[in-house]
Structure 1
Amino acid sequence: MATLTATPLAAAGVLNSTSAAAGGGDKVKPQGDHVWIEVTNGSGGSINVTIPSYPTVRGQAVTDRVVAVAASATKKIPIYEDLNTNPADGLAAITYSAVTSVTVGAYRL
């Protein structure tokens, strides 16, 4: 599992900074609601990106978020500090149903 560094968005813009999605998943440090990941699926089939949620509401666990990324598509997926921060390490985990031809980058405002 790799820890992604969120690239800050500059006034002049930033180039895409992506790497291969890790087979065991990736992690990123949430910073308020200002961090997002961009997942590009270069494979021939749809994949799912899962981001665990950790809080509970009235004793009930909040459902993990599962986002489908179609073949040949890129999706920007927000990381929410209040939902996705693992209290054990302060990071948000990201897992993928498949990683062949999948890249990911992390960005922040």
Structure 2
Amino acid sequence: MAALAETAVTTVGGIADLAAAATAASGGGDTAPVGPGLFLAVINADASPHTATIATPGTVNGHAIADATLTVAAGDTGIIPLTNLFRGETGRASITYDGVTDVTVAVLKLGA
């Protein structure tokens, strides 16, 4: 499991090359920081769709909250907020993938 670091997306310059900021998704999953302004970008260059699952460790009135999933079509990019809802015991989100062939990911901090 790799620990993803955030990439700042400044209000002045933005981010011109998302692919350059991304790293290969790990077959065993990744962890990522969570909090306001943080997002996970999933870039799928594969010929098949892929799904990223973010564990939701909390409960509401004793009931488990369903994990969040983001399915990204072949050749497309998806983005999902990394809110505090996903904060695990380590203080980070736990992310798994149904496949990692030609899948890259980036954690973006917006408005930094």
Give the TM-score taking structure 2 as reference length: 0.89
Which sections of structure 1, spanning at least 5 residues, go unmatched? none
- Secondary structure of the residue aligned to 1:106 is strand
Aligned length: 106
Q: What is the percent sequence identity of the aligned residues?
A: 36
Q: Distance in 1 between matches of 2:109 and 2:92?
A: 14
Cα deviations across residues 66-109 of structure 1 (Å, max 9, x unaligned)? 1111111100111111x1000x2100011110001000011012
Deviation at 1:50, TM superposition (A): 0.2
Amino acid at match of 1:8: A
Give the TM-score taking structure 1 as reference length: 0.92
Q: Tell me what 2:70 maps to.
A: 67
Q: Distance in 1 between matches of 2:23 and 2:9?
A: 18
Cα deviations across residues 20-71 of structure 1 (Å, max 9, x unaligned)? 1111111111123x11011011111111110010111111010001111111
Q: Distance in 1 between matches of 2:13 and 2:45?
A: 28
1:24 to 17, 28, 31: 28
